[in-house]
Amino acid sequence: MTGTPPRWSDGNAVVVDLGFGDAGKGVTVDLLCARRRFGAVVRANGGAQAAHNVVAPDGRHHTFAQFGAGTLAPGGPVPTHLSRLVVVDPFALAAEARHLAELGVPDPFSLVTVDRRALVSTPWHQEANRVRERARGAGRHGSCGMGVGEAMAYALARPEDAPTAGDCDRPERLRRKLRRLADHLDAVRREAARSGGAPREAGPVPDVEECVSAYLAFARRVRLVDEEYLPGLLARSPVVFEGAQGVLLDEWHGFHPYTTWSTTTTANPLALLAEAGRPGDARRIGVVRTFTTRHGAGPLVAEDPALGERLVERHNGTHPWQGPFRVGHLDLVAHRYALAATGGVDSLVVTHADAPARAGGRLRWCTAYTGPDGAPLEIAPGDAPAPDHPALREPGGRRGGPADATRAAERLARQERLTRALESADPVLSAAPAAPEALAEALGLPLEAVFSGPTRADALVPSGV
């Protein structure tokens, strides 16, 4: 199932979603790895809650979560590196590896390197996450229910107790941390019961020894590496940084509280490059659809349920934790906000170029917002702290003392005010030009590629790269 590898890429690439996720980062990475050779696909944010659907031209389909989306490249699988800024879920990784093996990828685990400093998301984190989400009732945040945010929050509050990938080959240390996590889950359940939000049915109680055995097996199957690995990799070959989720869900720039516990801009890849002595050494590629979507709760100003009836998604639907997959008109206001939040990109990939025709002429562009009084509503991102590892921060997220904690609270309060404004905003809609080039022009970007279908064979690459 492999062919001749393409020629090496001229440099590193960073792929970022300029929406709420689901724009097509996976197919973009798959295309890049089919056209040029890269030493690895590097994951630099998020965790197992990512869901990047890739359909190969031969019909094979895989939803990439932790493995890089270059694994099905026609020249052979591109290795995956899970950086220190990723939250690793060994159980989910094993399930993903099994499916890739069924698709004909030999020994998928051998493709994976994991930074020892990466946090590990466990069944205790997952269940605590779900307890909290159930307790919110109708006010759910739209969590994926995978425990990634819970792992981040736990590491902030108790950094010395947070499991890392490096603990997975140290059974006594790992066992001690998992037992403390079990106590943490008990405390979360008791608090939910006191607040009246206790679930009717609690999830299963994880077994410490079973998890220790599974994590030891994980450590044997993948290659655990130290902080010297990624700089060495970057010195040897170009890589693709595959972003997870979208800029509009960013922990600092998203519309709080309907956000992720992750930096979803290009900040994390650029920070890793700078640490390796290669600041800014990457081409930044933004990805958008021809219409705007959101999975779960939160503002979607240009939402139009009638569009969802016409633009049916084969690989996206109602999720038991996130909720429904929602569809709206192309929201240029939101995508321009995302561009500003991430500091710009160098080129644009447009996916779902066939959607205007499938929508039967209903698709519009949202070019502005108005408030309840009819006055224009303009939005702009604020600042954000530099990326770092949550387990290296002081408890409560403080990096330099109470002033930093206060500033973080102020940032989130600002974003929550923005959320409230967007929830009552109305879209200003106009006719949508059919050509993808018009979308790139509206965002002021050169066009990298256009997808009119789900596979790399459906891509037009006017840039020629």
How does residue 393 score in pLDDT terms, banded at 50, 70 and 90?
low
How far apart CA 391 and CA 72 sit, in angstroms, is 33
The predicted structure's pLDDT at residue 396: 41
Of the ranges 5-19, 62-76, 124-138, 149-163, which one carries the lowest mean pLDDT score?
124-138
Residues 6+ apart with CB under 8 A from 101: 107, 108
| Residue 131 pLDDT exceeds 80 | yes
Strand partners, 13: 240, 283
The predicted-structure confidence for 190-234, as pLDDT tens digits, reads as follows: 888 877 655 545 667 789 999 999 999 999 999 999 999 999 999
The predicted structure's pLDDT at residue 193: 80
Interhelix angle for 171-194 vs 123-135, to 10°?
10
Instruction: Give buried/exposed letters for 289-299 (b at 16+ CB in 10 A, else e).
Output: bbbbbbbbbbb
Interhelix angle for 208-221 vs 90-102, to 10°?
50
| Residue percentage of the chain with pLDDT more than 70 | 90
| Residue 390 pLDDT exceeds 80 | no
How far apart CA 185 and CA 204 sit, in angstroms, is 11
What is 101-153 written as a DSSP string?
HHTT-S-GGGGEEEETTSEE--HHHHHHHHHHHHHTGGG-----SSSHHHHHH
Instruction: Give buried/exposed letters for 82-104 (b at 16+ CB in 10 A, else e).
Output: bbbbbbbbbbbbeebbeebeeee
The predicted-structure confidence for 444-456, as pLDDT tens digits, reads as follows: 999 999 999 999 9
Assess contact for 276 and 234: CB atoms under 8 A: yes
The predicted structure's pLDDT at residue 398: 43
| Residue 128 pLDDT exceeds 70 | yes
Strand partners, 230: none
Q: Strand 330-331 vs strand 426-431: parallel, antiparallel, or unpaired?
A: unpaired
Between 386 and 64, the higher pLDDT residue: 64
| Residue percentage of the chain with pLDDT more than 90 | 76
Assess contact for 250 and 259: CB atoms under 8 A: yes
The predicted structure's pLDDT at residue 183: 92
The predicted-structure confidence for 338-362, as pLDDT tens digits, reads as follows: 999 999 999 999 999 999 999 999 9
The predicted structure's pLDDT at residue 364: 97
| Residue 322 pLDDT exceeds 60 | no
Residues 6+ apart with CB under 8 A from 83: 42, 43, 44, 115, 118, 230, 268, 272
The predicted structure's pLDDT at residue 429: 98
The predicted-structure confidence for 255-304, as pLDDT tens digits, reads as follows: 999 999 899 999 999 999 999 999 999 999 999 999 999 988 899 999 99
Instruction: Report in angstroms the alpha-carbon separations of 285 from 12, 14, 25, 66, 441.
Output: 11, 6, 10, 20, 15
DSSP state of 68: -
* Average pLDDT, integer, range 169-180: 97
Between 459 and 189, the higher pLDDT residue: 459
| Residue 142 pLDDT exceeds 90 | no
| Residue 1 pLDDT exceeds 90 | no
CA angle 219, 224, 228 (to 5 degrees): 170
The predicted structure's pLDDT at residue 395: 40
Torsional class of 107: left (φ above 0), alpha (ψ -120 to 50), beta (otherwise): left
Q: Which residue bears the tokens 């440099």?
A: 11
